A = this chain, B = another copy of it.
Amino acid sequence: MEPPIADGVINRGAPVAIHAQISEQIRNRIAHGEWPAHYRLKSEPELAADLGVSRGTVRRALATLIEEGLLRQVRGRGTFVTSMTFEPSIAQRLSTLSEDFASQGVLFDTTVLTHGLVTPPQPVAALLDLPALGSVFHLDRLRSTAGEPVTLLSNFVRADVVPGIEEFDFSELSLFGVLEGHFGLKIGTARRTFSAESATAEVAEALQLPVGAPVQYLQQVTYLTDGRPIEYSDVWIHSERLKVTSLLSRR
């Protein structure tokens, strides 16, 4: 049998309400990593029986922690310890980080560091099937949440396919949004590759990490439905703030 929820016992004579004692004990378990992110709590009736309290008291204790963001309830699945990092499914779906943030209700800021038409590095030109002397729209952006930098993105888009793209304000608009919404492009597929890298001076400064710190690196080539490559990107992710997550099925 699993031990009761708390190491401490409930003190019915204490001046602290019982539901608040339970909240505090759960808070401690989470803080000490004993209940890690994604841990599924027992059901409310089981917790109530373990603790010898009413189900209403348990529910009130959990409600406090849900309000604090430490727990979340998923209909039909139970109550889970919240992950303190963002967990976008960008390895599993061809959604963009901004779409994943938006669907999770995460507020973020975008700072445009570079934007304009340039001659791309040769490997990028090759992957984009670019004609000689062809130019690309180059866009460097920093995404932050709650004032903390989370990702540094560097995109190269074939300029011949999207004339005038340099006029858009990408601190307000998303790149895929402009490609699909304004230019009517049909984005088909992408290859995304994930690896661990050491932060260069430039990446370290942007993400506020020490030079050489491990960063999650994502390289992407995006293709239109007609097979033409349209976009190449390098993305560096602050791994303590954002973890790429896939929920997978065996069959």
Give Cα A220 to B127, complex, Å: 33
The answer to the question of A14 belonging to the interface, with a C-beta cut-off of 8 Å to chain B, is no
For the complex, give the distance between the alpha carbons of A92 and B190 in Å: 13
A191 interface residue (CB < 8 Å to B):
yes
Q: State which of A31-39, A56-64, A154-162, A167-175 sits at the interface with chain B.
A: A31-39
Chain B residues with CB below 8 A from A245, complex form: 191-194
Please state if A126 and B192 are interface contacts (CB–CB under 8 Å): no
**Given A1-B132, A126-B34 in contact, is the A244-B39 Cβ separation under 8 Å?**
no
**Measured between alpha carbons, how far is A243 from B195 in the docked complex, in Å?**
6
Complex CA–CA separation, A240 to B217 (angstroms): 12
Whether, in the assembled complex, A178 has its beta carbon less than 8 Å from a beta carbon of chain B, the answer is no
List the 3 closest pairs (A to B, CB-CB), nearest first.
Answer: A91-B91, A196-B196, A94-B248
A-B contacts, 17 listed (Cβ < 8 Å): A2-B131, A34-B126, A36-B123, A39-B126, A39-B127, A94-B248, A94-B249, A94-B250, A187-B250, A188-B249, A188-B250, A191-B248, A192-B246, A193-B243, A195-B216, A196-B237, A214-B214
